[in-house]
Amino acid sequence: MTASILRLVAAILFALIFNASVAVAAETIDEIVVTADFRGRSATDLPASVTVFDAAQVEELAVQHFEELINVVPNLNWSGDGHRARYFQIRGVGELEQYQGAPNPSVGFLVDDIDFSGIGTIATLFDIEQVEVLRGPQGSRYGANALAGLIYLKSTAPTAERDGRLQLMAGGDDMLSAGVAFGGALDNAERALFRVSAHHHQSNGFRTNTWLNKDDTNGRDETSVRGRLLLDLGETLQADITAFFADIDNGYDAFALDNSYTMLSDKPGKDAQESVGASLRLDWSGSSNISITSITAFANSDIDFSFDADWGNEESWDPVLYDYITDSQRRRKTLSQELRFASIDGPLEWVAGLYAMRLEDKLDTLNQGEYYDPFYDFADSLDDRLVSDFDATSVAAFGQIEKSLGKKTRMSAGLRIERRSTDYSDTTNLSASPSETMVGGELTLSHDNSEALTSYVSLAKGYKAGGFNLGFVPDGRRDFDQEALWNLEAGVKLLMLEQALSINVAAFVSRREDQQVRTSFQIDPGDPSSFVFYTDNAAKGETVGLEADLRWYIDDAWELYASLGLLDATFDEYQSPEVDLSGREQAHAPKYTYALGGVWRHASGWFARADISGKDAFYFDVSHDQKSEAYKLVNARIGFESGNWTSQLWVRNLFDEQYAVRGFYFGNEPPDFPATLYVRLGDARQVGISVDRRF
């Protein structure tokens, strides 16, 4: 089935390219501006591999959270270690978890310029205007937090016209949600525009705990409130103010001893995050030669990650007493300031600026438990607490120039120099204050082959800070060095059939130097909390891949899309006391990802949509050789739109596919504790209805 779908995608691509002149389209693809770029360029002009979802696509492809969009993005994966997608992997690069240690993300994650990198649980989608996924290192634009790429969510901007929307939704898994958004002008001169939105979502989390006789121990309780204010402060100064609040109060009871949806834990945990953030963007255009942009942002997040470490109860292990829990309380604060200068209407376009960020991260982890085996009269107990404080200050200078080389060719170059100073201490008397300087950038050449076709080639360098490991680690592995990623990429962007068809293709080769590899091992097989996590530097890693996407408005009634990602990400050389990964594929890096879908709309108001997505098997981790299974998911919806009303019936995971999004391999069942693969399953089938009213 998978091979046939891939052949179908390829056939559609070739058919469209060679037979495009046959079709006559009534609709065209609107220009989409990538706001994460320095200058806010059109997606068709940006010489990079990027996927952009507009508001309509977000509403049709997802129900609640960004993780529901991931399968549509080529070469994007996620780690379902907790309840929601918090950690992302782009082209096989990205973290899988963070139980301890200093934050050091590889994938940037921003919401309205507010940095939530490494803590993406709050990525709810109600009243989101645009989602952007930039693949490949963003060394000159975003620095150390964007080694693999960047995910950017942009909330709906206010308009002068008073408008709003009301959304109600109900579905399987006892799902209920409601959202309201409205905005407009605050004054007759339309110099102050506002928009506010609020949304609440709750469901049971697709698990049943038979020991506690509950069906909501893995439940979802998610609330988000957003506000934006656009101010015209004169002819040359505009302000964009954003405020954001998210309360993701989710349970965490997701791993079963038999890898099913039936839980046996007696002490379910939490995967919760409460975040408050705000940003202020000022744009000044008082000069005919230079514009100035200032972006100030802060965020304050309280994160509760706790779980039943033995995943069972007294009856599960009888006559052995085996009872463990882990509870981590994290508090993260960030404050950033960017000041950017850009040229206006000159033969040489340039951007230059300064950036500073202060990060404070406090982690309080408690591991508790007791063990007694009556056959061997052996007893053990655990009451271990680690409190750590981590502060980091990053300052950077960056610049980018772009020059035309004739009428059809453009060259651009970017450079970023970043200095990072850190200070760490914990209750084990470990303290460290490393500092380092990192350099990244890119060189790009793009060419307009015709009015319909643009091609580009780029060489980019991304970087990621080094650091240190906590607790017990193998000899010589307390510290690890910074990592560099070199990426050579070539791509084409085709916009044809009177802008009704777009095709984007990018091929790339990446080389990771001093690649950071995070591995783990279990010290005591009888203690599920006795894992040691540490990061080491591999010699090198290499990735070769391709990304393609297509969007086609065939006529007024039909729209099709397709995407394909191919990836070969391997370790060149890496050997530790626990594993030898030389030549092996990297973790969470499936060899292929694909998506195919279509939308039908009738003049009477009826519409229907179907989406198929899938991915290849992938290694769950670097500490073992266990893999997932390849899977495919089918989503569908049908509805009716009349005036300002939209009603629809939708289903996710139509064929109730069982698929794993995270896997651990260790001993967790007394008295022998055999090494076993335990997987975290993705969401089961869900059917729902939604009603939207726009006013």
Torsion of CA 199, 203, 206, 212, to 10 degrees: 140
Burial 174-195 (b: 16+ CB within 10 A, else e): ebebebbbbbebeeeeeeebbb
User: Cα 33 from chain centroid?
Assistant: 20
Using CA of residue 67, residue 132, residue 543, residue 105, what is the dihedral sign? Answer: negative
Mean per-residue pLDDT, 625-640: 97
- pLDDT reported for residue 100: 64
Confidence of residue 10 (pLDDT cuts 50, 70, 90): very low
CA–CA dist 12, 22 (Å, integer): 14
Mean per-residue pLDDT, 403-425: 94
- pLDDT reported for residue 527: 65
- Among 23-37, 383-397, 489-503, 548-562, whose mean pLDDT is lowest? 23-37
Residue ranges of E strands in 309-377? 321-343, 348-373
- pLDDT reported for residue 15: 47
**pLDDT tops 70 at residue 627:** yes
- Among 81-85, 416-420, 449-453, 500-504, whose mean pLDDT is lowest? 81-85
Confidence of residue 9 (pLDDT cuts 50, 70, 90): very low
CA–CA dist 627, 450 (Å, integer): 45
Residue with tokens 């007024």: 556
**pLDDT tops 70 at residue 317:** yes
Q: What is the pLDDT of residues 32-79, one digit of tens each?
A: 888 888 888 888 889 999 999 999 999 999 999 999 999 999 999 998
Mean per-residue pLDDT, 546-550: 97
**pLDDT tops 80 at residue 29:** no
Confidence of residue 24 (pLDDT cuts 50, 70, 90): very low
**pLDDT tops 50 at residue 21:** no
- pLDDT reported for residue 83: 78
- pLDDT reported for residue 521: 65
Closest CA to 613 of 586, 629, 633, 627: 633
Three-state DSSP at 453 gives strand
- pLDDT reported for residue 205: 95
Q: What is the pLDDT of residues 118-163, one digit of tens each?
A: 888 899 999 999 999 999 999 888 989 899 999 999 999 999 999 9
**pLDDT tops 80 at residue 220:** yes
Q: How many domains does the chain have?
A: 1
- Among 27-41, 450-464, 523-537, 599-613, whose mean pLDDT is lowest? 523-537
- pLDDT reported for residue 428: 87
- pLDDT reported for residue 528: 67
- pLDDT reported for residue 590: 97
User: Considering the chain, what is the average pLDDT of its residues?
Assistant: 90
**pLDDT tops 90 at residue 278:** yes
Percent of the chain whose pLDDT exceeds 90: 75
Q: Give residue 218's domain range.
A: 2-694
Residues 25, 553 contacting (CB under 8 angstroms): yes
Q: What is the pLDDT of residues 236-253, one digit of tens each?
A: 999 999 999 999 999 999
Q: What is the pLDDT of residues 339-373, one digit of tens each?
A: 999 999 878 999 999 999 999 999 999 999 999 99
Mean per-residue pLDDT, 500-508: 96
CATH assignment of the domain containing 584: 2.40.170.20
* CA atoms in the 13 A half-sphere facing the CB of 48: 27
Confidence of residue 99 (pLDDT cuts 50, 70, 90): low
**pLDDT tops 80 at residue 625:** yes
According to DSSP, the β-strands at 149-155 and 107-111 are: parallel
Mean per-residue pLDDT, 294-323: 95
CA–CA dist 215, 88 (Å, integer): 28
Q: What is the pLDDT of residues 550-580, one digit of tens each?
A: 999 999 999 999 999 999 999 887 766 667 7
- pLDDT reported for residue 43: 85
- pLDDT reported for residue 695: 92
- pLDDT reported for residue 12: 47
Percent of the chain whose pLDDT exceeds 70: 92
Tell me the backbone φ, ψ of residue 286, rounded to 5 degrees: -80, 0
* CA atoms in the 13 A half-sphere facing the CB of 374: 5
- pLDDT reported for residue 155: 96
* CA atoms in the 13 A half-sphere facing the CB of 496: 19
Query: For residue 6, which amino acid is it?
Result: L
